Amino acid sequence: MGAQWKHKGRVENANAKGRIFTKLVKEIMVAAKGGADPDKNPRLRMAVDAARKASMARDTLERAIKKGAGLLDEQVNYEVVTYEGFAPHQVPVIVECLTENKNRTATNIRVLFRKGQLASSGAVSWDFNRRGVIEATPPSEGADAETAAIEAGAQDLEKGEEGATRFLTEATDLDAVSRALAGMGWKVSSANLAWIAKNPVQLDGEARAEVEAFLEAMDEDDDVQHIFVGLQG
């Protein structure tokens, strides 16, 4: 399935982990604009859960919430900017950025797309579906994922990583399905909105390595929050 691309092994590097924390803080701040209480703000709750799983310090987490909610004197306004285009070998890519300086971000993205092709809005997204994606592990060995998906209201499911199941939902149902799975004892490790490619491209060997190098370079930019790629496997 073409879904969110994740840089393999990046958390093992201290600089890379710092970039992950930067991205998490941005997401928390943007989410907190909708309210500083995670219990009343689903997007913030999911961002906080992700930060805790990444072992973010409590002080850093709380400051990001307050800053985003406008409870501190220091103000930074991040905007969501989405770019569409193609990686090498015409692999479709959607790049979501969070930035306080759109001119800087646009310049950086144009440079990063030089080895691919930057496209206009809508040129790629028509071939993707907007979905909620939940990664969860069962409460006990032998627990039936299909039954859980039906009862929780998920649209579909597939095998995840390390024994987990990936549940797919309508974008508007992400929080409700995540809560329902947790209520059934499933351990939810992540719950995010994603762009899912309808027709992912199959590549191997040098061609695939070239695409992954392109995606790694894109991911290293601090303004890049999420990368969704139509690459099979």
Same topology, domains 10-68 and 128-197? Answer is no
Residue-level pLDDT at 143 = 82
Q: What is the pLDDT of residues 131-157, one digit of tens each?
A: 999 988 888 877 888 999 999 999 998
What is the band of 91 on the pLDDT scale with cuts at 50, 70, 90?
very high
> Residues near 153 by Cβ (< 8 Å), separated by ≥ 6?
169, 173, 176, 177, 180
In whole angstroms, give the CA distance from residue 57 to residue 215: 28
Contact predicate 37/50, CB 8 Å: no
| Domain range list for the chain | 10-68, 79-126+200-229, 128-197
Residue-level pLDDT at 103 = 95
* Mean pLDDT score, 72-87: 87
Q: Which CATH superfamily is domain 79-126+200-229 in?
A: YebC, transcriptional regulation domain (3.30.70.980)
What is the band of 4 on the pLDDT scale with cuts at 50, 70, 90?
low
- CATH topology for the 10-68 domain: Arc Repressor Mutant, subunit A (1.10.10)
Reduced to 3 states (helix: H, G, I; strand: E, B; else coil), residue 33 is: coil
Hey, what CATH class is 128-197 in?
alpha beta
* Mean pLDDT score, 178-198: 89
What is the band of 1 on the pLDDT scale with cuts at 50, 70, 90?
very low
pTM of the model: 0.82
> Residues near 173 by Cβ (< 8 Å), separated by ≥ 6?
132, 153, 154
